[in-house]
Amino acid sequence: MTGALAAQTNGSIVGHVRQRVGSVPVSGAEIGLDGRFLAQTDSTGYYRIREVRSGWHVVTVRSIGFETVRRDSVLVRAGQNTVVNFTVDVYTIERPIVVEAYADSILDPTVVASVQRIGGDELRRFPVTTVAEAVALSAGAVGESYRGGRLGQQAFVLDGLGVKNQLDASTGGLGVRIPPDLLVEASLATNGFSARYGQAISGLVNVVTKDGGERWSGRAAYESDRLLWGAADMGQDRMVVSADGPLGGGIGVVAVLDVEGKLDADPVNAPPPPEARDPRNNNPAMLPHNSGERVDAGAKLRLPLGGSHSLRLFALRSVEQRLLYDPVYKYDTDGAPGQRVSGNLVSADLQRASNNFTADLRAGYFSREFERGTLAEQPRYRFGAFTGSPFRFTGDELARSQDTVAARAPIPGLTAPDFSDRTPWGVPAFFLGGGSAGGVAWNQFHELRGQADFSVGGPHGDFYFGGEIARQDVKTFQRALGYLPVGDSVPPAEASTFTPMSAAAYAEGQLRGPDFVFTFGLRYDQFDPGTGIPGGAVYGARRSFSPRLGFSTILKGATFVASWGRFSQAPDFQYLVDAAFDDTLRTGRFRRGNPNLGFEEATQYEFSLRTRPSPTTTLRVNVFNKLLDGMVASVPLGVDPDSSIFGNLDYGDVKGVEVIGERPLRDGWGVRVSYTLQQAQATATNAFQLTRRIRVDPGGDTINPARVTFPLDYDRRHGLTVIGQTQLSRNAGPRLAGIRPFAGFEAAVIVRVSSGLPYTMTNLAGDSLIGLPNSHRLPTLATVDMLLRQPIRLGGRWQGSVYLDVRNLLNRQNVEAVRRETGQPNFTDAQIQQMAETAYAAHPEPIPYESPRYRSYADLDGNGLIEGRTELFPLYLSAARDYGQPLFSYGPPRLFRIGIEVLF
Amino acid sequence: MRRRDRSPIRFTIVLAAVLAGCEHGAPFLPADYTPSQPYNAPPLIRLTLNPGDDMMPAWLPDGEIVYTAERIDRADHDRCLAVMPGTGAAVFRYVCRSSTSNDSLDVFLEASATSLGGDQIAYVRQGSYRLPIPPISPNEQAIIVAPVTDPNAGREVRSVPYLAPSGRTHWGISHLRWLDAARLIYVGEDVSYPRGCSMCPPDTVRVGLEIAVIDLTPATPTVTIVPGTDAASSVSVGATSDTIYFTRENDAVVYRHVFSSGVTDTVHDFGGNRLVRDVAWAAGRLFVVVDGLPDIGGDVHILGPAAGADSLVQPPARARGAFVWFERPAPSPDGRRFVAQGYVLASDTSSLASSREVWLYELP
């Protein structure tokens, strides 16, 4: 029976050694991995090497009386068993042979988890730029929602160390990004994953980074859309420099720098406006004040300490800063907000790895800082969208000092906005300028984590155990409407400082029978808000036990897996403290924090069938049902919506079927097709939504309250993803002028078709629902992405390529949001008319010649006054049309990148 | 030995340079939609057409025009400072107490910012609470000194009303001017609100009492009275801070006072039953408002630079059966132009306008 359940950074290498003549097993043969002999074959000629780090390795077999055989380029994936079989001759001449080894997680019953992988080389071949985009190709993924989980409910594991933005993952993201050039592989596990990584309601994103190779190699790449024009030029630049290699003494180093700037970091594909005077009419592609730049820098050092010990040191820093377009500030962009997120991760991993026992001691420090507000000064662009200096925000010193007393007064530097006079229409309506919304938000999260993992292996089973402890430090500050003093409708500033602690322990075993594998695990989690939160000390630590069970067997050439598991996840710490925010879209601007929040929980059942219809194709079918409970939502305490408090009151379930068929790239082509049918229901999509209840009243009786759920905002019923790739040989194509211009040409196409997300219809006034919540559907979404790459020979060890990356190749205007009262992306003519009438009634006064609002084209009688309905109202109508453009109802437009790279 | 083919490396470098060297496109930008030219051609240019009152224009050191504009687009009709180019066109900056209507009527008056004052602007700021029964007099009033670049970032140098060293109470301030970088000069006024009948709305009557100087040097600015300026109705600073020109209520004379000698003499007597209402000095000329009507204005006479010279400003509007009477003339430093608040009147002096406007006159 093949190898064991693997840790998240490691796989196993298994196989048989047989004589060429007669296929007689060779017992007692020594098996070496990268120069160290770690295992021996048993009487059946079988061997197994456990805890092999994901990546490329050299496997050698030697035995007295037989030739020594070495197999280069053995690729091991995390959590997989790579089969390498040897056939040896009775000679002693050393002769290296290159053979392709293969991993078979499809038919391997020890692989209980539902895992979808993408390798570092695939990231380079596919039209994806980041790890998040790559993981989003997985079946069951709706953006960063996996199998119906909310944003932020995924766990992130980097080289075996858990990393989590425990403060505000649901609204803020992780804060660090792994440069794709640092990756060996990234995978998404949606069920059945080890009890070692239990804190994930939705999915586990596992990333394994490179170790420095035995030879120096590197890459420098630059991609941009500068050569293009019109809507194809969106102001993108990206530069990547990476290198890895030996430093001597067995020390390996990897370093990557990945920077990107976009003049429009969130482009829209909305139709151009009909008004000729609207400046967007001639240039609908890019939005102003919407630029962004990011820097990701990572480095890793691997130091062998002798014998089976090694030390890995890793450092990562990510910074991203964005200007955020706000339609209200279309003509006075200085009032629109900006945002900056920076993250640092430093970790160390001391490992002792032998074939029967592996121990990892890990320590990690993670920090993240978030700021959002009005910029103190507008940035200067030095090259493309790169400013080269950090954003500074008005009030940031006050926010960092968390001085809520001083924050009761208006924040110096913030001014109240007024109606803009810089619009083509001039009238005081809809658009603001001269000030900002006045919000100031800042938070800081630090975590020091220690983790110990052990694995013990034997011929019939493996046992894993370990634990972790993490101490966190949280500081937050929020102020809304900062240009006004606190009072009346302006909530006070909120700040918090607390030091929570989390801890976990786990034990997991896997027993292997002749034709089955039984996996069982138990995980203990706890989190303690600490004493910094009012009430935190009273409630103390929350605890949870999460068992896992899995059974797999092979039936008629297919592997059947049944698994059941309970998963617990601590809520975002932001829900433990008060939140003050200026939000015109939701009800109220204040939520009370609840230090008594407990774990969010899920129980998932899954049945999987995996088979190989042919030697080069695989087919996987997963059927799952996940029950959600204790999700955080907002609970009204009274009539005033601002009195809502966070509570563990949301519940729901997610059920679905995933079908994944794949033919890996072989003989010049490969394809992967994944289809997901999924239903995700609960009562609230995120914690800021109020929980919804309805009273069911059949026959006059009232049932109160009904345990009713509704489709979640990311309940995507049908999802189809087709990935096709081709790679021509080095001799392909015609010969022109002595060279073959298409030799080695690569192409990859990703086609995505999915049903639209649900939305809630309301009446025109917006105060009554039409039908149940989320009972209507947006139109179907479809995109085609493509990457074409042509290698270039540069001589010697140097290679290069030019490539063209196109997203949304067909420039489809995918509708991603509609107005609830009409079901259409844009306002109706009647709504525009009503908006204009209301605005005109509020300001019917004439506009004189000297006013900055005066527009000569509207002064029909030329008397120096725009007055009366005849002259004024058409301006309000045009302003309403301008304001009502459905900019964010559509997905991104077609985006091009032309790139060149040099590799050695 | 085969030569190494460097053409692909060169191609890569060139392509990278071309990619990096190209300019990016840019997002859309709004144009400038405001008028860039004055409403009409010189010599008499109407700078404002606001249905509300626009008054007390003055020149800023960089050649721009500042005046008090009634914001009829605000529910409380604040009277804010407005700044426009010196040749007329659109206002490009408003200075108000807040950017939106609020609970008080805010009034910014008597703005003065000249080279004598350096980079400072002085003005009178009033505030009145918006109540169901509006107050007759301002709830608060003060002289403010601030940077020209940020008039709201100023300090209060004198609250009003106050008891002057002369024993009189100054209930109002008018004709605020910079005497030098550390002193302001103005007319202290008595303000009353008589009613023509018991049910008639109150009228505001301002009567000049005397000319006062406020010294900003001490931590608490001090006020002194210029002797011999009883019943002053206007004041203007001459070529240096040693000389001022002023008029008196119900008088026909333009006076001059020299501080160093303490002498006050007559510069010009219009004689007869004439009435001088206002005086302003620039580049050796005196711009004097003569006759007309109270709170409406009168004709502008230019005295000088030659001794005895007296020319009447004749706006072309008069030829069309309507004319403009001016108040508060503010000549440019070179004396070739002046701005003033004015009323458009028919030839029988009945009003054709509902409000005061700001005008710019260019001398021939």
> Is residue B72 in a domain?
yes
The mean pLDDT value for A465-478 works out to 94
Task: Name the closest residue on chain B to residue A385, using Cα atoms.
Answer: B24
The fold for domain A115-823+893-903 equals Maltoporin; Chain A (2.40.170)
User: What is the DSSP pairing of strand A590-591 with strand A542-555?
Assistant: unpaired
pLDDT at A99: 46
Task: Name the closest residue on chain A to residue B88, using Cα atoms.
Answer: A850
Judged by CB atoms closer than 8 Å, whether chains meet at B8 and A384 is answered as: no
Residue B22 with chain A: CB contacts under 8 Å: 224, 226-227
pLDDT in tens, chain B (364 residues): 445 556 656 766 777 777 777 778 889 988 999 998 999 988 889 999 999 999 999 999 999 999 999 998 887 888 899 999 999 999 999 988 765 556 666 778 888 887 777 789 999 998 887 666 667 777 788 999 999 988 888 899 999 999 999 999 999 999 999 999 999 999 999 998 888 888 887 788 889 999 999 999 999 999 999 999 999 999 999 999 999 999 999 999 999 999 999 999 999 999 888 999 999 999 999 999 999 888 888 999 999 888 788 888 876 655 566 788 999 999 999 999 999 999 887 766 666 667 899 999 998 8
> Is the pLDDT confidence value at A639 over 70?
no
Residue A324 with chain B: CB contacts under 8 Å: none
CA distance linking residue B91 with residue A422, whole number of Å: 12
Of A226, A280, A851, the CB nearest to B22: A226
> Is residue B22 in a domain?
no
Task: Name the closest residue on chain A to residue B87, using Cα atoms.
Answer: A850
State how far residue B150 is from chain A, nearest Cα, in angstroms: 13
Reference A896, options B19, B16, B27; nearest CA is: B19
Contact status of A428 with chain B (Cβ, < 8 Å)? yes
The mean pLDDT value for A433-437 works out to 92
CA distance linking residue B246 with residue B261, whole number of Å: 17
> Is residue B56 in a domain?
yes
Angle between helices A829-842 and A868-883 (to 10 degrees): 120
Judged by CB atoms closer than 8 Å, whether chains meet at A285 and B25 is answered as: yes
> Is residue B353 in a domain?
no
Judged by CB atoms closer than 8 Å, whether chains meet at A286 and B27 is answered as: yes
Contact status of B75 with chain A (Cβ, < 8 Å)? no
Contact status of A331 with chain B (Cβ, < 8 Å)? yes
Task: Name the closest residue on chain B to residue A417, using Cα atoms.
Answer: B99
**pLDDT tens readout for residues A42-74:** 888 889 898 888 888 889 998 888 888 888 778
Judged by CB atoms closer than 8 Å, whether chains meet at A288 and B28 is answered as: yes
pLDDT at B247: 96
State how far residue A663 is from chain B, nearest Cα, in angstroms: 34
> Is residue B308 in a domain?
no
Task: Name the closest residue on chain B to residue A419, using Cα atoms.
Answer: B100
Top residue of B6, B12, B22 to mutate, by most chain A CBs within 10 Å, is B12
% of chain A residues with pLDDT over 70: 91
State how far residue B284 is from chain A, nearest Cα, in angstroms: 31
Contact status of B153 with chain A (Cβ, < 8 Å)? no
**A773-801 burial string, b = 16+ CB within 10 Å, else e?**
bbebbbeebebbbbbebbbbebeeeebbb
Residue B34 with chain A: CB contacts under 8 Å: 421, 852, 854
**pLDDT tens readout for residues A179-211:** 999 999 888 888 766 788 767 788 888 899 998
CA distance linking residue A658 with residue A675, whole number of Å: 6
CA distance linking residue A311 with residue A316, whole number of Å: 17
Six token digits for residue A649: 């009151």
Judged by CB atoms closer than 8 Å, whether chains meet at B33 and A845 is answered as: no
Contact status of A417 with chain B (Cβ, < 8 Å)? yes
**A816-832 burial string, b = 16+ CB within 10 Å, else e?**
bebbbbeeebbbeeebb
Residue B16 with chain A: CB contacts under 8 Å: 222, 900
Domain boundaries, chain A: 10-104, 115-823+893-903, 831-884
How far is CA A431 from each of CA A59, A145, A420, A422, B73, rounded to the nearest angstrom?
A: 67, 34, 5, 9, 16
pLDDT at A5: 34
Contact status of B77 with chain A (Cβ, < 8 Å)? no
Contact status of B17 with chain A (Cβ, < 8 Å)? no
The fold for domain A10-104 equals Immunoglobulin-like (2.60.40)
Q: What is residue A755's DSSP assignment?
A: P
Residue A855 with chain B: CB contacts under 8 Å: 33
Greatest CA separation found in chain A? Answer: 109
CA distance linking residue B131 with residue A406, whole number of Å: 31
Query: Which residue(s) pair with B248 in the sheet?
Result: B232
Contact status of B37 with chain A (Cβ, < 8 Å)? no
Contact status of B28 with chain A (Cβ, < 8 Å)? yes
The mean pLDDT value for A711-726 works out to 86
The mean pLDDT value for A738-759 works out to 88
DSSP annotation string for A549-589: EEEEEEETTEEEEEEEEEEEEPPPGGGGS-EE---SSSS-S
> Is residue B249 in a domain?
no
Backbone angles phi, psi at A122, to 5 degrees: -70, -40
Reference A142, options A678, A533, A700; nearest CA is: A678
Exposed, middle or buried: residue A767 (CB in 10 Å: 0-12, 13-18, 19+)?
Answer: exposed
DSSP annotation string for B23-88: PPP--------S--S-SS-SSEEE----SS-EEEEEE-TTS-EEEEEE-TTSTT--EEEEEE-TT-
Contact status of A413 with chain B (Cβ, < 8 Å)? no
pLDDT at A643: 64
Judged by CB atoms closer than 8 Å, whether chains meet at B39 and A855 is answered as: no
Provide CB contacts within 8 A for A870, sequence distance 6+: A860
CA distance linking residue B126 with residue B110, whole number of Å: 11
**pLDDT tens readout for residues A204-255:** 888 999 988 888 999 999 999 988 888 889 999 999 999 999 998 889 999 9
Of A330, A798, A900, the CB nearest to B16: A900
The mean pLDDT value for A740-745 works out to 82
Amino acid at position A48, single letter: R
> Is the pLDDT confidence value at A460 over 90?
no
Of B20, B34, B49, the CB nearest to A865: B49
Amino acid at position B138, single letter: P
State the residue for tokens 């995918």. Answer: A814
Provide CB contacts within 8 A for B270, sequence distance 6+: B252, B253, B276, B288, B290, B301
Six token digits for residue A379: 């940035």
Reference A190, options A201, A199, A203; nearest CA is: A203
How far is CA B316 from each of CA A666, B340, B362, rounded to the nearest angstrom?
A: 92, 16, 12
Judged by CB atoms closer than 8 Å, whether chains meet at B99 and A415 is answered as: yes
Q: What's the total number of domains in chain B?
A: 1
- List the domain range (segments joined by +) for residue B86: 35-159
pLDDT at A10: 84
Q: How many CB atoms lie within 10 A of CB A747?
A: 18
| Whole-prediction pTM | 0.86
State how far residue B259 is from chain A, nearest Cα, in angstroms: 41
pLDDT at A457: 87
A105 Ramachandran zone, left/alpha/beta (phi>0; psi -120 to 50): alpha
Residue A798 with chain B: CB contacts under 8 Å: 9
Residue B84 with chain A: CB contacts under 8 Å: 850
Exposed, middle or buried: residue B26 (CB in 10 Å: 0-12, 13-18, 19+)?
Answer: middle
pLDDT at A92: 46
Of B5, B26, B92, the CB nearest to A795: B5
Rounded to the nearest 5 degrees, what angle is found at the Cα of A308, between the Cα atoms of A454 and A209?
A: 70
Judged by CB atoms closer than 8 Å, whether chains meet at B35 and A795 is answered as: no
pLDDT at A684: 62
Judged by CB atoms closer than 8 Å, whether chains meet at B28 and A798 is answered as: no
Task: Name the closest residue on chain A to residue B54, using Cα atoms.
Answer: A850
Cβ proximity of A651 and A635 under 8 Å: no
Of A279, A435, A846, the CB nearest to B51: A846
User: What is the DSSP pairing of strand A155-158 with strand A204-209?
Assistant: parallel
How far is CA B6 from each of CA A737, A780, A792, A902, B12, rounded to the nearest angstrom?
A: 17, 50, 12, 13, 10
Of A279, A435, A902, the CB nearest to B29: A279
A-B Cβ pairs (cutoff 8 Å, strict): 140
CA distance linking residue A2 with residue A12, whole number of Å: 9
> Is residue B181 in a domain?
no
Residue B50 with chain A: CB contacts under 8 Å: 848, 850-851
Task: Kindly indicate the confidence band of residue A7, based on its pLDDT and cuts at 50, 70 and 90.
Answer: very low
CA distance linking residue A5 with residue A202, whole number of Å: 21
In this predicted structure, which of A149-153, A587-591, A641-645, A710-714 has the lowest mean pLDDT?
Answer: A587-591
> Is residue B82 in a domain?
yes
